[in-house]
Amino acid sequence: MKTVSRRQQAILQFIERFLDENDYPPTIRDIQSELGISSTSVVDYNLKALEARGLIRRNSKISRGIELMNRGSTRRNVVTIPVIGQIAAGQPIPVPGDLEGSDVTETVELGSDLVRNSGQGLFALRVKGHSMVDALINDGDVVILKQQETCENGETVAVWLKDQRETTLKRFYLEGDQVRLQPANVTMDPIFTPAENVEVQGRLVTVVRSDL
Amino acid sequence: MKTVSRRQQAILQFIERFLDENDYPPTIRDIQSELGISSTSVVDYNLKALEARGLIRRNSKISRGIELMNRGSTRRNVVTIPVIGQIAAGQPIPVPGDLEGSDVTETVELGSDLVRNSGQGLFALRVKGHSMVDALINDGDVVILKQQETCENGETVAVWLKDQRETTLKRFYLEGDQVRLQPANVTMDPIFTPAENVEVQGRLVTVVRSDL
DNA sequence: TGTTGACACGAACATGCGTTCTCTCCTATG
DNA sequence: CATAGGAGAGAACGCATGTTCGTGTCAACA
């Protein structure tokens, strides 16, 4: 009763694989024929053992009522965010509304603890160019933004600087009628600009860099 | 036949909700009783309509053989990576083996397209301090590493510099018996050090910064 | 050597659950 | 008014699938 037998482990793996391929759990007989087990009762026996160990949950009487305790629940709080375009220094930021009809080809999945609130109003952009190294953001990174036209002091936001015709990511501080834009890189100096020159496009929620 | 009727939409939503709660799809009769439909044939009828529209797939004869075409397949490939410790300039990097028994409290979930290979051998560390800004990595970022003691030229790796007693993240180039460590930040200069002074701890796979 | 308990067989058995067939009840169309 | 087709009701049918039961094997053990 202590150890998970080889056969039980194989069953567990098969269930996992099956779930990946089919969206619904396997039947006892699926498991049986896959693993070359002679009887359904043997599968039932081992399934009971796995359940006693807390590795799976079984809903009696219900067809395909096998649930994996591990992933299962964790996999839920995953948010899928569409990558709707690029962000570069010299271009305005695409916002979700712009591409209404066009279906997005690329998406990013993140655990909801990385984005809090279930991903509502979030969108992602791929960074083009090295213009945002002062925000510790590299060419090719994916930035995830929450669409909003205003922001609190201290939040990192994507802003469009009208005069410079330039997009940038900085911490935002309204000081009188001036705005101080503070780079995330502590070694770099802030820039100051009149409040009416900045147009907040969204708040920076997450940055993902994938060095594959 | 053009429009998705109110009832069909309700069915679709219910299937989705059911899947969230149970890990296995509902039966026709589940749908029936939930929506207060009088007959299973009505459900079957509407399900066929939804399938014709390509919104679901049904595996005939198979119990609970309903699959949602939208999410379903995409949301599965999510990898859960344990955050096993911190990484700071002056400390050796914890490696997975170190904390065998201790159960990890924090994890990070990422879509598998961000980490390729199904997350085998991956672990995550939270960055402490500003020592890695030259790698465009900030205090509080989470770096995801693949454990390996060797690496190819051009890969970004976490190395332990014996003489300096220091951990750093750089691109690695072996040049003769020297190693060139190139910061990701294009504006910064590489450092050179003897090959025997560097100890590769892992390859950088992904960086995640969460500005909540 | 006999007993016990984990593990495995096969074959019924009893439901779970998808499918199908026959009838209504509409609303639109002519 | 007659007809046709979409949407639904109700019941029966039958394969799909979980459950149970009687046996058999093999190692550990007293």
Residue B108 contacts A, CB cutoff 8 Å: yes
State the pLDDT at residue A101.
45
Q: Which of A74, A114, A136 sits opposite B133 (nearest CB)?
A: A136
Is the pLDDT at B194 greater than 90, yes or no? yes
pLDDT-derived band at A104, boundaries 50, 70, 90: low
Which residues on chain A are in Cβ contact (under 8 Å) with B22? 59, 67
- DSSP category for residue B3: S
User: CB within 8 A of A6, min separation 6: which ones?
Assistant: none
Return the bridge partners of B79, or none: B110
B189-212 average pLDDT score? 87
**Nearest chain B residue to A205, by CA:** B211
What are the pLDDT digits (tens) for A154-207?
Answer: 888 888 888 888 888 888 999 989 999 888 776 778 889 999 999 898 888 889
User: Closest Cα to residue B147, out of B173, B107, B119, B166?
Assistant: B119
H or E element at residue B16:
helix B6-22
Domain ranges in chain A? 6-73, 77-208
Lowest mean pLDDT among A45-59, A89-103, A117-131, B40-54: A89-103
CA angle centred on B205, ends B208 and B84, rounded to 5°: 70
B63: chain A residues, CB-CB within 8 Å: 27, 63-64
CA dist list (Å): B67 to A25, B11, B158: 11, 13, 43
Distance from the A53 Cα atom to the nearest Cα atom in chain B, whole angstroms: 18
Instruction: Write out residues 123-142 of B within 8 Å (CB-CB) of A.
Output: 130, 133, 136-138
C-alpha span between A143 and A156 (Å, rounded): 12
Residue pair B183/B146 in contact (Cβ under 8 Å)? The answer is no
Please determine, for residue B72, whether its predicted confidence score (pLDDT) is greater than 50.
no
The integer distance in angstroms from the CA atom of A50 to the C1' atom of D16 is 24
Q: Measured between CA atoms, how close is B25 to chain A, in angstroms?
A: 6
Across A66-80, A88-102, A106-120, B102-116, least confident range: A88-102
Domain B77-208 in the same topology as domain B6-73 = no
pLDDT in the model for residue A76: 54
Q: Which residues of B86-124 are buried (b: 16+ CB within 10 A; e: fewer)?
A: ebbbeeebebbeeeeeeeeeeebbbbeebbeeebeebbb
Whether A197 and A153 have beta carbons less than 8 Å apart is answered as no
**C6 C1' – A7 CA distance, angstroms?**
13
| CB of B132 closer than 8 Å to CB of B181 | no
Nucleotide nearest to A26 (CA to C1'): D17
Beta carbon of B51 within 7 Å of strand C? no
Q: Say whether residue B205 is in contact with chain A using an 8 A CB cutoff.
A: yes
Token pair 């202590």 is found at A2
Check CB contact under 8 Å for A110 and B107: no
Contact B23 A23 (CB under 8 A): no
Question: B183, B127, B209: which is closest to A135 by C-alpha?
Answer: B209
Least confident of A4-8, B96-100, B139-143, B183-187: B96-100
Where are the alpha helices (H) located in chain A, listed in sequence order? 6-22, 28-35, 40-52, 73-76
Burial B182-212, CB ≥16 within 10 A → b, else e: bbbbeeeeeeebeeeebebbbbbbbbbbbbe
pLDDT at B2 over 70: no
**Looking at chain A, which residue has its C-alpha nearest residue B130?**
A186
| Residue B81 · residue B173 · CB < 8 Å | no
Nearest to A28, CA basis, from A13, A16, A49, A46:
A46
Class for the domain spanning B6-73: mainly alpha
In angstroms, the CA A206 to CA B9 distance is 34
Q: Which amino acid is at A189?
A: D
CB contact under 8 A, A75 and B72: no
The amino acid occupying position B45 is Y
> B123: which 2 tokens?
């672990």
Active site residue A61: no
Is the C-beta atom of A5 closer than 7 angstroms to strand C? Answer: yes
Smallest CA–CA distance, residue A210 to chain B, in Å, is: 4
- The mean pLDDT value for A61-86 works out to 74
Would the pLDDT of B47 be above 80?
A: yes
Measured CA to CA, the distance from residue B199 to residue B149 in angstroms comes to 7
In sequence order, the 6+-apart residues with CB closer than 8 A to the CB of B87 are B93, B94, B125, B126, B127, B128, B143, B158, B167
Where does the pLDDT of residue A124 fall: very low under 50, low under 70, confident under 90, or very high at 90 and above? confident
Residues B37-56: what's their mean pLDDT? 88
Beta strands in B2-155 (DSSP E): 56-58, 66-68, 78-87, 106-111, 122-127, 142-147
CATH entry, B77-208, from 2.60.120.260, 3.90.1170.50, 1.10.10.10, 2.10.109.10: 2.10.109.10
Q: Name the pairing type of β-strands A78-87 and A122-127.
A: parallel
